[in-house]
Amino acid sequence: MYPDWPKSAADLVPLPRCDGPKLKPFEFHGPQTIEFLEYIGEGAHGHVFKIKIHEEVYALKLFRFLDDDEWSSTSIHDDVHVISAFANYAEPFNCECRAYGRLQETGNEKLTVQCFGYLLLDERHERIMMDQFQNLRLERNFCGSIHSPQGFDPLRSRFLGRNAPIRGLVKEFGQPDQDLTTPGAKKILQNIISLQQLGIFNLDVAHRQIINGRISDFSSAVTIPHFKTSPELNPNLSPDQISGMEFETFYLCFQDYRYFDNMIKEFNEEERQKKKKIHVSAFPSRPTRRYRLRGTQSRIDSGRQQPVMVSKDVARFYTHVDPRKLEVLSKKQKPTRWNHDIHHDNRGRARMLLNTYHVVEFWTHWEYKDGHMFLEDPKY
Q: Which domain holds residue 139?
A: 9-79+114-174
Same domain, yes or no: 206 and 348: yes
Residue 141's domain is classified under what CATH number? 3.30.200
Count how many Cα atoms sit within 13 Å of the Cα of residue 240 in the half-sphere of its side chain: 8
Alpha carbons 353 and 340: distance in angstroms, whole number: 11
Preceding omega of 16 cis (within 30 degrees of 0):
yes
- Lowest mean pLDDT, pick from 138-142, 158-162, 276-280: 158-162
What single letter denotes the amino acid at residue 99?
Answer: A
Indicate whether 93 belongs to any domain. Answer: no
Please report how the helices 182-197 and 239-269 are oriented relative to each other, as an axis angle in degrees rounded to 10.
170
Same domain, yes or no: 271 and 190: yes
Q: How confident is the model at residue 295, as a pLDDT?
A: 47
**Which residue has better confidence, 57 or 86?**
57
What single letter denotes the amino acid at residue 219?
Answer: S
Residue 153 has pLDDT above 80, yes or no: no
- With vertex at residue 63, the alpha carbon angle to CA 147 and CA 9, rounded to the nearest 5 degrees, is 165
Alpha carbons 317 and 254: distance in angstroms, whole number: 9
Same domain, yes or no: 122 and 218: no
Q: What is the pLDDT of residues 31-73, one digit of tens each?
A: 999 999 999 999 889 999 999 999 999 999 999 988 777 776 6
Alpha carbons 164 and 190: distance in angstroms, whole number: 39
**Domain end (from 135, 158, 174):** 174
Same domain, yes or no: 131 and 219: no
**Per-chain mean pLDDT for the chain:** 84
Same domain, yes or no: 292 and 229: yes
Indicate whether 97 belongs to any domain. Answer: no
Residue 85 has pLDDT above 70, yes or no: yes
Please, which pLDDT band fits residue 256 given cuts at 50, 70 and 90?
Answer: very high
How many domains would you assign to the chain? 2
pTM for the structure as a whole: 0.88
Same domain, yes or no: 125 and 203: no
Q: How does strand 308-311 pair with strand 222-223?
A: unpaired
**Domain end (from 174, 193, 221):** 174
Same domain, yes or no: 247 and 280: yes
Alpha carbons 27 and 29: distance in angstroms, whole number: 6
Q: What is the pLDDT of residues 307-346, one digit of tens each?
A: 787 788 888 889 999 999 998 888 778 888 999 888 877 7
Same domain, yes or no: 189 and 60: no
pLDDT (average), residues 262-271: 86
Same domain, yes or no: 257 and 217: yes
Q: Please state the separation of Cα 366 from the chain's center in Å.
A: 18
The alpha-carbon radius of gyration of the chain (Å, integer) is 22
Indicate whether 148 belongs to any domain. Answer: yes
Indicate whether 240 belongs to any domain. Answer: yes
Burial class (CB in 10 A: 0-12, 13-18, 19+), 15: buried
What single letter denotes the amino acid at residue 302?
Answer: S
Q: How confident is the model at residue 301, as a pLDDT?
A: 44
Alpha carbons 244 and 251: distance in angstroms, whole number: 10
Same domain, yes or no: 150 and 261: no
Indicate whether 351 belongs to any domain. Answer: yes
Indicate whether 3 belongs to any domain. Answer: no
pLDDT (average), residues 281-307: 54
Please, which pLDDT band fits residue 142 given cuts at 50, 70 and 90?
Answer: confident
Q: How confident is the model at residue 339, as a pLDDT?
A: 92
Q: How confident is the model at residue 285, as a pLDDT?
A: 61
Helix (H) or strand (E) holding 360: none
Indicate whether 101 belongs to any domain. Answer: no
Q: What is the DSSP string of 217-274?
A: --TT-EESS-TTT-GGG-TT--HHHHHHHHHHHHHHHHHHHHHHHHHHHHHHHSGGGT
**Domain end (from 151, 174, 197):** 174
Indicate whether 349 belongs to any domain. Answer: yes
Same domain, yes or no: 192 and 214: yes
In percent, how much of the chain has pLDDT > 90? 47
Tell me the sheet residues that pair with 338.
319
Residue 293 has pLDDT above 50, yes or no: no
Alpha carbons 259 and 304: distance in angstroms, whole number: 11
Q: What is the pLDDT of residues 181-240, one digit of tens each?
A: 999 999 999 999 999 999 999 998 999 999 999 999 999 999 999 998 998 888 888 898
Same domain, yes or no: 68 and 156: yes
